[in-house]
Amino acid sequence: MPIDDAAPARSRNAAATRAAILASARSAFARAGYDGAGVREIAAGAGVTAMLVNRYFGSKEQLFAEVVAATMADPVILTDDFVRAPTGEAIARRLVGLSGADQTPLDGFLVMFHSASSRRAAEISREQIEAIHQRAMASALGGDLAAERAAVILAIVAGVQVMRQMIALPTLANADPEALVAILAPVFQALIDGVR
């Protein structure tokens, strides 16, 4: 008997409902991707009907766009601390720590990659990455080929996330965090310091 799915009776409140749908969608997209997550499933997770989702967001595609935008909005890697004094270890710790137990903050990457099959989803993701993460990081880095180095850093973060969360490659997923940090920190540091 299927009791109510995470729907703690929210007395008619548009803003709260909207937020609940957004949260449910985010976790659903992170787990199953754009195609894999159904509107009915997302709605159930928010304790509403499928049609309400479309009523609030117009369509599944627009909902996804908003999820990606909201998810990519928070800096995650590019924290204020990092901008002040960028170090490889900071990125490494953040990446390893976050992508391990507490995966929520970085599931923006999961949303992206799980959904990149959809052409439109990939487009939305690209715009967000470029606008928010890469440019900010590039200007925080400075030096020769700053944009390219920033992009490579993002690519590495992405790759580690993909391998740990999506593919669940055991060596990475179960690795000793400190060992991973020891491996990754110098890599990021080299990219921060610049070429040669």
Partner DNA sequence: TGCCTATGTATACGAATGTAGACTTTATCG
Partner DNA sequence: CGATAAAGTCTACATTCGTATACATAGGCA
Residues that bind its own copies (CB under 8 A): 32-36, 112-118, 122, 125-126, 129-130, 134, 145, 147-152, 154-160, 162-164, 166-172, 175, 179-180, 182-184, 186-187, 190-191, 195-196
Strand segments (E) across the chain: none
- The partner in contact with residue 99, picked from DNA, its own copies, none with C-beta cut-offs of 5 to 8 angstroms by kind, is none
Positions in the binding site for DNA (CB under 7 A): 10-14, 17, 37-41, 47-52, 54-55, 59-61
Contact of 114 with 29, CB cutoff 8 Å: yes
The b-or-e profile of 173-185 (16+ CB within 10 A means b, else e) is: eebeeeebbeebb
Name which of 17 and 134 has its Cβ closer to its own copies: 134
CB of 175 to its own copies, least distance (A): 5
C-alpha to C-alpha distance for 163 and 161, rounded to whole angstroms: 6
Paired tokens of 153: 């850093």
Q: How far is the CB of 150 from its own copies (least distance, A)?
A: 8
DSSP state, 175? S
